[in-house]
Amino acid sequence: MRRFSAVVLAAGVGKRIGFSIPKILIPLCGKPMISFVVETLKSLNPENLILVVSPQAKEKIEELFGDSVQLAVQENPCGTGNALLCALKQFPDLKGTLLVTCGDTPLLKKETFEALIDYQVLKKASAAVLTAELENPFGYGRIVRDRKKWIKKIVEEKDADSKIKKIKEINTGTYCFDLKELEKTLPLLTQNNDQKEYYLTDSLHLFSKWKKKAVPLLISDSDSALGINTLSELSRTMNLLYREIREKLMNSGVLLVDPETIYVDAEVMIGSQTILYPFTILEKGTVIGSNCQIGPFTRVSNSRIGSEVVIQNSVLNEAEISDGCSIGPYAYLRSGTLLQKKVKIGDFVEVKKTTIGFSSKVPHLSYIGDADIGENVNIGAGTITCNYDGKRKYNTIIEDGAFIGSNTNLRAPVRIGKNAVTGAGSVVIKDVEADTVVAGVPAKVIKNGS
């Protein structure tokens, strides 16, 4: 493939979506929209990879990509033609072949960009435009071809008459230009159109007027040309991406029982022979080992799950779960939960900022917050760590082998020593020595030493 530079137009405001963050930063399957096109282009090793961004998005884009991309800022979003002109002014040394694409068409494939570049070279054209045929072309620029089947012009929906609106071949917004030719057109663009914007698409009309060759390349996979301008296109794109992710998972040995009900974000990793049951959502930052059973009705975000873990009907956020744990149904494991191997968390249990040691159990109806729990501890039903006095949070420590009776309240800060026992219904307000039994309200020592 010919050497090329790439420019991604990404400075638009996203008026039609109306979110407060710039459109190209909206996450799709846990990843900002713009990352998809940037990663695809990077895999083609362009000589320069330039993103045209708005002043509002600049900082976030720098954070995302560091110096792996170059930025051109478009101060005022007055059209795709102006956006590209801004890039060329800010990078005057560019030459040769220029691939131009949009930040809001994230599904386009590496092979498609390659084919477009090859086609422009093969046809010795001033420009090659990637086009698609859509059953419902509403909203896109329509391709008007001349007698030679070259591009005569591209007409935007808002400028189209009823005859042009019937054309089903659309502009995907991706082009490969001979830069020298392109440069002649950009300063001549005007805002004489419905949106009062400088349309890059008008460059193609100039080529046609000047008898320069601009050729369309029609792609077969029209879904991948989907542009995101409305919330319904955003949602459709997400669904196509989720479908792709499901296929990849199934090809890598993960079983999805009823795939259409399962949503896995883009960079989630899952080991083989893991089974995902219906209505499972696995979000950004999550890693799951092999031989696990996750779901049904489970949502896991930004968590690390070992192997041979079973999680049913539960919600996990920023938790770390070691091999062989069993969770749920109906558990809520919040930020800072760390379960060592073979821990059991049962039904209606909430855990946050807590480490639970090997083989310990919290089987039912408990709140465990700001605690450090040793190995082989049994926490009875209804146990509560009273970690908050209305002003501050305090820690609870439960040492190895302790047995916490049902319905115990542990008023933090408090420590329960090794192998100590609390009777059912105790309210523990003082530390309990190792091997000691306490009971009552407030809990008193009943038996001391082993």
Q: Give the active site residues.
A: 364
Distances (CA, A) of 191 to 59, 90, 407: 29, 22, 73
Minimum CB separation of residue 178 from ligand UD1 in Å reads 19
Residue 201 interacting partner from ligand UD1, Ca ion, none (CB closer than 5 to 8 Å by kind): ligand UD1
Residues 152, 205: contact at Cβ < 8 Å?
yes
Residues 305, 322: contact at Cβ < 8 Å?
no
Query: Could you say whether residue 104 binds ligand UD1 (CB under 6 A)?
Result: yes
Name residue 49's beta-bridge partners.
6
- When the beta carbons of 203 and 301 are compared against ligand UD1, the nearer one is 203
H/E run at residue 209: helix 202-209
Residues 154, 141: contact at Cβ < 8 Å?
yes
Query: Could you say whether residue 201 binds ligand UD1 (CB under 6 A)?
Result: yes
H/E run at residue 350: strand 344-352
Taking residues 95 to 114 in sequence order and writing x for each that binds Ca ion by CB under 5 A, - otherwise, the string is ---------x----------
CA distance 350 to 384: 10
Neighbouring residues of 232: CB distance < 8 A, sequence distance ≥ 6: none
H/E run at residue 439: strand 437-439
Q: Which of 173, 259, 295, 306 binds ligand UD1 (CB under 6 A)?
A: 173
What are the DSSP E strand ranges found in 18-96?
A: 27-28, 31-32, 49-53, 70-73
Minimum CB separation of residue 227 from Ca ion in Å reads 4
- When the beta carbons of 159 and 320 are compared against ligand UD1, the nearer one is 159
CA distance 319 to 82: 47
Site for ligand UD1 in 71-100 (CB under 6 A): 74, 77-80, 82-83
Query: Could you say whether residue 170 binds ligand UD1 (CB under 6 A)?
Result: yes
- When the beta carbons of 17 and 44 are compared against ligand UD1, the nearer one is 17
Quote the radius of gyration of the chain (alpha carbons, Å).
30
Query: Could you say whether residue 169 binds ligand UD1 (CB under 6 A)?
Result: no
Query: Could you say whether residue 107 binds ligand UD1 (CB under 6 A)?
Result: no
Cβ-proximal residue to ligand UD1, closest one: 141
- When the beta carbons of 33 and 437 are compared against Ca ion, the nearer one is 33
CA distance 118 to 151: 18
Minimum CB separation of residue 245 from ligand UD1 in Å reads 23
Residues 101, 174: contact at Cβ < 8 Å?
yes
Length of the chain: 450
Minimum CB separation of residue 13 from Ca ion in Å reads 11
Residue 172 interacting partner from Ca ion, ligand UD1, none (CB closer than 5 to 8 Å by kind): ligand UD1
Minimum CB separation of residue 233 from Ca ion in Å reads 9
Query: Could you say whether residue 229 binds Ca ion (CB under 5 A)?
Result: yes
Q: Which residues bind Ca ion (CB under 5 A)?
A: 104, 227, 229
Q: Which residues bind ligand UD1 (CB under 6 A)?
A: 9-12, 24, 52, 74, 77-80, 82-83, 102-105, 140-141, 154, 156, 170-173, 199-201, 227, 229
